[in-house]
Amino acid sequence: MITTLDDYPIHQTSLPLIIPATSDRNFYDRFWFNGFVGDGSLYFSVAMGFYPNRGVHDGGFSVLVDGYQYCLHLSGDLPVDRMNTELGPLRIETIVPMRRHRVVVNDPQRGFEADLNFEASTGTHEEARQIFTDGLHTSMDVTRLSQFGSWSGWIVIKGKRIEVNPKVTNGTRDRSWGVRPCGEPGGRPPRWASQFYFGWSQTFWNDFVLHGVFFCNAKGSIDMGSGAKVPRVPHGNEPVFARDTGEVDATPFDYKFNYIPGTRRIRHALVRYRKTDGEILEVEYEPLISFHMAGLGYGHPDWGHGCWKGGYVIDDETWKVDELDITKPHLFHVQQVCKVTLNGLQKGCGILEHTAVGPHAPSGFKERCDLYQPL
């Protein structure tokens, strides 16, 4: 089927753009954003996913403030025209590609409203392609771009209005697409069902952002890692790419995560990055608050990504964070707002995303969901 996107000279196959080149039902295309204040007083996140081979369109908006996490969940039929980036009360606008975006939420009946503007302060960084196989089957083949900046605007959550100040509200936008496990399970479970150890981080400094991602196996070795020191750039009205601004590879090569006893929740972390010139950047993370990614559907028992829910469905949840049972596997996956220290001297703030499922020898994990026990 021809759509408005076919009016641009961007085709990669002989098919109309609405039809993916792969028939893998786990193919997806996704928007994701976060925003946070460095002292942990506010965190919010937005997601919207498209699953062409499942016919599903889903999204979410979640805010962590004053000890509560508020979650709005959405699911519906896949729109024919992929230029339609609106689902129920959630709308994502690309104002200037690779530079400026807007998020609007309009559901006063449920207590979720927002008008938020993301302004990039770096070029767009392309992470290394992430490919993993389960024997003969490719279970993950993803490209992700990340861009870093600030947020302005406002949020009204359950009657509480929050002014979002761009001077203190950092953020990341993430666009990823490809194949990864999602939707209703079928056939043999992927490797991720039994072992998955992942770290993803952005730390914000005056003149650059340090970004890194890595996946580890059960022995603790890093199977895949990439990262970069991404320079800040002046505000402007043109698309901007990190490759054109002097970004430097800075790959995570060593890490040490310490956990709260009886959980899989990080209480302190250290990651070392190696630049192409051999310089080592050592970042320590001191978590302040933990945002549960289940609030956007990640691992959620009822709102998992790409699941068909019979058409348009909307729901919301409110969690009192200190009453959550964080030993539950669907709450292992978090993003933590952190105080960060670079090379023992420079102070800043950032995000550390982490999930640990299954064995991981350095942590003492031997089973799928056993918990940390100090020696």
Would you write out the chain's pLDDT as a tens digit for each of its 375 residues? 888 888 888 898 898 888 899 999 999 999 999 999 999 999 999 999 999 999 999 999 999 999 999 999 999 999 988 889 999 999 999 999 999 999 999 999 999 999 999 999 999 999 989 988 877 788 889 999 999 999 999 999 999 999 999 999 999 999 999 999 899 887 777 666 689 999 999 999 999 999 999 999 999 999 999 999 999 999 999 999 999 999 999 999 999 999 999 999 999 999 999 999 999 999 999 999 999 999 999 999 999 999 999 999 999 999 999 999 999 999 999 999 999 999 999 999 999 999 999 999 999 999 999 999 987
pLDDT number for residue 193: 67
Question: What residue has token string 């000279």?
Answer: 9
Burial class (CB in 10 A: 0-12, 13-18, 19+), 317: middle
pLDDT number for residue 282: 98
pLDDT number for residue 10: 84
Residue type, 246: G
Beta bridge partners of 105: 90, 114
Contact 93, 82 (CB under 8 A): no
CATH number of 26-363: 2.40.370.10
Alpha-carbon gap, residue 119 to 151, rounded angstroms: 6
Provide CB contacts within 8 A for 8, sequence distance 6+.
none
Q: Where are the domains of the chain?
A: 26-363
Burial class (CB in 10 A: 0-12, 13-18, 19+), 211: buried
**Phi, psi dihedral angles at 363 (to 5 degrees):** -90, -10
187: left (phi over 0), alpha (psi -120 to 50) or beta: left
Alpha-carbon gap, residue 166 to 152, rounded angstroms: 5
Output the CA–CA distances (angstroms, integers) from residue 214 to 20, 197, 308, in the order listed: 27, 8, 30
pLDDT number for residue 375: 75
- Token pair, residue 256, equals 């040490």
Alpha-carbon gap, residue 287 to 66, rounded angstroms: 16
The total of other beta-carbon atoms located within 10 Å of residue 25's CB is 17
